[in-house]
Amino acid sequence: MPSPKRKSQVTSEHDDGEVSKKPRTSDDDDVVEDRATTPNAAPDSLINHENAIKYWSGTEASVNGVLGGYPQVSRIDLQGSANFFAKLRRQSKKYPTGPTGRKLRRAVDCGAGIGRITAGFLSNIAETVDIVEPVKSFTDQIKGKDNVGEVYNVGLESWHPDKDGLGPYDLIWNQWCVGQLTDAQLVKYLKRLPSVLSEGGWIIVKENLSNHQYGEDVFDETDSSVSRTDVKFRKLFEEAGLKLVSTELQKGFPKGLYPVRSYALQPR
């Protein structure tokens, strides 16, 4: 799933980082690389939005639920995000930090879940934070809270902010959710964003990285999502016409979890 996840669930890697030579069996775990039935299927072609929503709708509306049973990583994740963003602002002419630095006017938390990132980070740095999240029981947790603006109960593939007219956004935050989109949907979605991004604003993608032993993306049947490689992310950003302005690996997560990388993007 796009949330924090143990490497061994999907890559046959041991916690010590050693790659297992043992072939996967159907008993290995609940993550399926379904090559047996669909030998050449691209991992993202196995994504099924209905199954994804079914999974997330049946998940407890809590930090534990949206973080796949690793609630303890939330604090360090939010701290890492705050540090990454502070560095971006220090290099920014439009949104400098320091005495002249103010809160951003409007940000949006995409694939927001219960609004963990909005509550713990985005609402500290933006006057208003909009929410995009398809599961209503999740957004019920955050609706009406301080600084929360519009709430859109749709998937990112169906979110057309350009048509809503409430932008522009200074910051568009996408974390642990773009794995729910196919490659083509992700590129299409990213291509829509520059039209609602303020000049000098940022699109952030913060996601698990697949470290599959043969450099492949990995499908996870549990929530019908993919974990992508760093190479794939960079290729899709390029296709979407976005420029990578900064990137950083999240530090301090427990050993054995997938690596998590933040990418800061701007229109080319």
Ligand X SMILES: C[S@@+](CC[C@H](N)C(=O)[O-])C[C@H]1O[C@@H](n2cnc3c(N)ncnc32)[C@H](O)[C@@H]1O
Q: Which is nearer to ligand X, 24 or 42 (CB)?
A: 42
Binding segment (CB under 6 A) for ligand X, from list 172-180, 211-219, 228-236, 240-248: 172-180
Stretch that binds ligand X, among 1-9, 20-28, 195-203, 235-243 (CB under 6 A): 1-9
- Pattern 122-161, binding to ligand X, x per CB under 6 A? -----------xxx--x----------------xxx----
Q: Cβ of residue 227: shortest distance to ligand X, in angstroms?
A: 12
Kind of pairing between the strands at 218-220 and 225-227: antiparallel
- Smallest distance from ligand X to CB 214, Å: 25
Site for ligand X in 197-256 (CB under 6 A): none
Residue 44 binding ligand X, by CB under 6 A: no
Give me the least distance between CB of 125 and ligand X, in Å please. 16
Task: Give dist(CA 149, CA 129) in Å, integer.
Answer: 5
Residues 45-74 that bind ligand X (CB under 6 A): 49, 52, 56, 66
Closest separation in Å from C-beta 199 to ligand X: 26
- Between residues 25 and 254, which has the closer beta carbon with respect to ligand X? 254
Phi-psi region of 120 (alpha: psi -120 to 50; beta: other; left: phi over 0): alpha
Nearer to ligand X, 83 or 91 (CB): 83
Give the residue, chosen from 61, 177, 204, 209, that forms a contact with ligand X under the rule CB under 6 A: 177
- Which residue's CB is nearer to ligand X, number 113 or number 167? 113
Phi, psi of 215 (to 5 degrees): 65, 35
* Min dist. Cβ of residue 30 to ligand X (A): 16
One DSSP character per residue, the chain reads: --SS-BTHHHH-B-TTSPBP-SPP-TTS-S----TTTSTT--GGGG--HHHHHHHHHTS-SSHHHHTTT-GGGHHHHHHHHHHHHHHHHHT-SSS--STT---EEEEEEET-TTTHHIIIIIHHHEEEEEEE-S-HHHHTTTTT-TTEEEEE-S-GGG--HHHH----EEEEEEES-GGGS-HHHHHHHHHHGGGGEEEEEEEEEEEEB---TTS--EEETTTTEEEB-HHHHHHHHHHTTEEEEEEEEPPSPPTTBPPEEEEEEEE-
Task: Kindly write out the interface string for residues 89-118 of this chain, putting x where it contacts ligand X by CB under 6 A and - elsewhere.
Answer: ----------------------xxx--xx-
Residues that bind ligand X (CB under 6 A): 1-3, 49, 52, 56, 66, 111-113, 116-117, 133-135, 138, 155-157, 175-177, 180-181
